[in-house]
Structure 1
Amino acid sequence: MSSKPSVLFVCVHNAGRSQMAAGFLTHLAGDAVEVRSAGTTPADAVNPVAIAAMEEVGIDITDQTPKILTPDTVETSTVVITMGCGDTCPYFPGVTYLDWQLDDPANQPLAAVRPIRDEIERRVRALLTDLGVS
């Protein structure tokens, strides 16, 4: 088992918020943190507007694909951050759960997604501090 923290971002479709959060954490932490994302009902593809919003800040998430949330992925995470999956996320003792209330970027124009992206970045930076990762 790895000594580095494992963070799992979960949203319903794993196509917007969780993908942007994973992109920021990967970009900012490098390999100091294992970064994963999943959804309770994954979409077919990552939201193109989320991709565009991340491209604006120099982060490429075009290689990501929505993945299904599995109990094993949750159980093997240090921190699970939910973003709108509610009670459908399984609970395991010893895992830290955080719920980030964020607007859903689905069907939103780029101008509406930018503030969501910026809030996600702020929260990811705070998470890194909480994890003791510089």
Structure 2
Amino acid sequence: MADKPSVLFVCGHNAGRSQMAAGYLSHLAGDRIEVRSAGSAPADSVNAAVVEAMREEGIDITDQKPKIITTDAVQASEAVITMGCGDVCPVFPGKRYLDWKLDDPAGQGVDAVCPIRNEIRGRVEKLITELLPS
């Protein structure tokens, strides 16, 4: 059996978009896909509005901590999905890169975060169908 696919979600602070994407991928794909998230300049904690928006979906990300992106994390991932970190995201040959243009939920309330969350869910669902052909 082949190794399971692995995905790394990267955003600036690893406190919003990448945490929501990782939460959805873990929730929707279970243990069929390895999930990582990181940031180029990690915040001290995950955005409270993001935690609340995910709780509304029945996904608890309260135990997640923002992490700095490492070369090892990128090299261990087959797909790297960036969300607004631009040139600071390390690039390695042979990796599949996707750049998801998404609004930054930083400093916004739950009402503003929910449309971003919903956009991320749709993209994660599409990603799962690409990574796990039925």
Deviations 1:46-65 (A, max 9, x none): 00000000000100000100
Residue 20, structure 1, aligned to residue 23, structure 2: no
In the alignment, is the contact (CA less than 8 A) between 1:51 and 1:60 conserved in 2? yes
Q: Give the superposition deviation at 1:133.
A: 5.3
Compute the TM-score of the two structures, normalised by the length of structure 1.
0.97
Report the AA paired with residue 31 of structure 1: D
Unaligned runs of 5+ in 2: none
Q: Is the 8 A contact 1:32 1:133 kept in 2?
A: no
Partners of 2:63 and 2:13 in 1: CA distance: 16
TM-score by length of 2: 0.97
Structure-2 residue corresponding to 1:94: 94
Q: Please list every run of 5 or more consecutive structure 1 residues that lacks an aligned counterpart in the other structure.
A: none
| Equivalent residue, structure 2, for 1:108 | 108
**2:78 is aligned with 1:78:** yes
Q: How does 1:1-134 map to 2 (within 5 A)?
A: 3-132=3-132
Question: Which amino acid is the alignment partner of residue 68 of structure 2?
Answer: I
| CA offsets 1:25-76 (integer angstroms, 9 cap, x no match) | 0000010000000000000000000000000010000010000001111111
- Paired amino acid for 1:85: C
Q: Which letter maps to 1:65?
A: K
Superposed displacement of residue 15, structure 1: 0.2
Whole-angstrom distance in 2 between the partners of 1:102 and 1:124: 13
Runs of 4+ more than 6 Å apart: none
**In structure 2, the residue corresponding to 1:36 is in which secondary structure?**
strand
Q: State how far apart, in whole Å, the 1-side matches of 2:23 and 2:132 are.
A: 19
1:100-130 CA-partner distances (Å, limit 9, x unpaired): 0000000011111000000000000000011
Separation of aligned partners in 2, 1:29 and 1:120: 14
